[in-house]
Structure 1
């Protein structure tokens, strides 16, 4: 068992530690709150001039999931799995039904999609499963090639848009497929209509699942059902925090540290990314004074102008 040591007095390294940790926490908050309205939801402060280019922050995703890292999403997972396997949503115009997961950044959309994608019921139901990361910049050629390569497990060297659409239609023809489009930003219906035209060759029962921050992006794709993902519950947030802050050994931590940890978790407002990252940052420091410094720091506060908005 890992022993958690506690210091009751400040050390010579405390001040630099506090400064560095506060700086890193601010970076975490900025990264998990790239949209202004999301910052208000989280009740965090946006420092003037620190907004980063989102394309530098975001990175590609894969369908692999570490199940030990996932808390409190079983009901959401089952709801989506049932929607994917249900015959509801089939239409006479052969359009592929779309299921969407909508939430602000850091809420765990991609993580939930991975849970669904790797569920045994889903694996057994669909003949073909494809996971593709889309991102903010919508590139029709890159996206189509990525889907083809995911389905065929082979490199696609086509460059012509029409040839790519024909090839995608061919590789999906007659197959019941699940296509996951992770991190959709595009709100232009023309782009979706072009892609959809190549998907209708799939067999009845095929589905598209998307993750996005934007309800409008889900709406233009005709997404039904529409799951708006909420924050984690209090107990799930605490379990996630303990896994990273105490390496799962909560019993080895002092009552005072646990009490402070609970208060820090409360300030995370149910956002899994915040809980996980803060737990990881605090795991290397077990001074109660330093934890309390983080808890009482003004990094959590809204500016007065934001508070009134």
Structure 2
């Protein structure tokens, strides 16, 4: 479904300037993609938890965990069906909007530009101040032309969301001529990642296929320009496709910054030029605010008042992991049943 939408992107991005309906279409598509990414994050988190529990089987706890999975599976299936229905509806609007397929093979990285809602993030103010201070001052060793800040922590701790908040800060935006956000997960090659960065830098699709020419073009595009680049979700500890990228970045102006988000201490140490920033778990109070913000719409409801006390106990079990809190909140917000809540 996303590939079908991809065929319409180039035309939509051009026509949105003249058509508010097309702008709304792009907004709906972005919103749906963000929901899809949230679902994938939840699945990844559950998979990690499953592996941890399976490696340390305690019969009663493990069975309880598997029972939770069945509830999670049902909720996730409903979300996926809803996302697919929305995508189908969005794509069907192409004729009404006069959008044409152009046969492009890219998926616009601009469509996936980060969009974090600071009002839904709690317990990260100190972390944010420290990283922003690094970004707006030329911190680090004087021998480094380009500074690399590694942000690491366990899965589900909120590394990407945190990086998004920093990336969108107005004081950060004002410091850099170029800003770009790319995902560099396993399976990504140098060419894929370099072309995504080029799309951002030159503001249109990069059609260069040869890796050597692409490396030269990226060096030229960044030459003497101060940039902020986020390499999100780095997993490949061999550093294979990131090393040639890093050589391209050296052409940028002094004070250019790179943020790397990763769960790997090895990658964080390899890439960082300043001390690694470790994201820790957040407090129970912060977790409770995340939970209540997602679950409770009517704080004065009598039922909600009873659920609040149970919610506090549920949140403690999440051990300060924001994604665990969000996953449970998604499960429970549509089930205002005391007995169901007590089972969690």
Give the alignment's TM-score, normalised by structure 1.
Answer: 0.75
Taking the aligned partners of 1:89 and 1:157, their CA distance within structure 2 comes to 36
* Change beyond 3 A, Cα 1:119–1:31: same
* Change beyond 3 A, Cα 1:275–1:35: closer
Match of 1:103 in 2: 153
Q: CA deviation at 1:91?
A: 4.0
SS at match of 1:197: helix
* Change beyond 3 A, Cα 1:224–1:37: farther
String of CA shifts for 1:79-125, please: whole Å, max 9, x gaps: 1111112222244364x221011012211100000000001111001
Q: CA deviation at 1:251?
A: 3.3
- Contact between 1:130 and 1:151, CA under 8 Å: does it hold in 2? yes
Give the length in aligned residue pairs: 254
Match of 1:79 in 2: 130
Post-superposition, which runs of at least 4 consecutive aligned residues in structure 1 deviate over 6 A? none
Q: List aligned pairs for 1:135-284, cutoff 5 A.
A: 135-247=185-297, 249-254=298-303, 255-284=305-334
Structure 1 residue 70 and structure 2 residue 83: aligned? Answer: no
Q: CA deviation at 1:38?
A: 8.4
Q: CA deviation at 1:39?
A: 3.5
Taking the aligned partners of 2:329 and 2:50, their CA distance within structure 1 comes to 25
| Structure with the larger RCO, 1 or 2 (CA within 8 Å, 6+ apart) | 1
Task: Give the structure with the larger helix fraction.
Answer: 2
String of CA shifts for 1:200-234, please: whole Å, max 9, x gaps: 11101001101001010111113422111111211
String of CA shifts for 1:148-207, please: whole Å, max 9, x gaps: 112222100111111111111111111110110000012124543311111111101001
Give the alignment's TM-score, normalised by structure 2.
Answer: 0.68
Taking the aligned partners of 1:99 and 1:287, their CA distance within structure 2 comes to 45
SS at match of 1:178: strand
Match of 2:52 in 1: 39
SS at match of 2:308: helix
Structure 1 unaligned runs (5+)? Answer: 1-26, 51-56, 295-309
Q: CA deviation at 1:278?
A: 1.1
Structure 2 unaligned runs (5+)? Answer: 1-39, 70-79, 81-108
Q: CA deviation at 1:126?
A: 0.9
